[in-house]
Amino acid sequence: MTNAVSAALGGFAEVVIGASMERREGDAYAFNEPLLEGTLFNLEGNGSGDFVVAMMFLQPGRHAGSGGDVATILKEEETQHPGLKTHITDLMGSGDDIIPILADRFSECLASAAAASAGSI
């Protein structure tokens, strides 16, 4: 997805990186790397400059939203690295644009379930 986002931004962003909030132990969970915590500091420039954090969450919760893990981590990173400034987008699910996509996915699932049921008779 990071390549698609980078292409859609048309070079507006210098770097697009996907990051996770948490990772379980073991090699089977390596796909969750990198973690958001520490990622901005490890970028070129040693954690200085402006960064936009795109919130790929549908709803506020433990990670997203006011007082969530993301906001806490970013505040800590900014405190530790005074040259760092983060900007957080609204949550993906905050607008009505997501409704048609969810409705399409629901319809696709129903059609798939109906086809599977018809094939098993």
pLDDT (tens digit, 9 = 90+) per residue, 38-74?
A: 787 677 666 678 889 999 999 999 999 888 999 999 9
pLDDT of the residue at 47: 64
What mean pLDDT is predicted for residues 21-45?
Answer: 82
Encoded tokens for 117: 């049921």
Check: CB of residue 36 under 8 Å from CB of residue 20. Answer: yes
Number of compact structural domains in the chain: 2
Q: What's the domain range around 110?
A: 95-121
Are residues 28 and 82 located together in one domain of the fold?
yes
Are residues 21 and 61 located together in one domain of the fold?
yes
pTM of the model: 0.74
Are residues 17 and 74 located together in one domain of the fold?
yes
Are residues 21 and 50 located together in one domain of the fold?
yes
Residue 80: phi and psi, rounded to 5, are -75, -25
Are residues 118 and 66 located together in one domain of the fold?
no
Are residues 8 and 30 located together in one domain of the fold?
yes
Are residues 14 and 49 located together in one domain of the fold?
yes
- The band of 98, judged by pLDDT with boundaries at 50, 70 and 90, is very high
Are residues 26 and 83 located together in one domain of the fold?
yes
Q: 82 pLDDT exceeds 70? A: yes
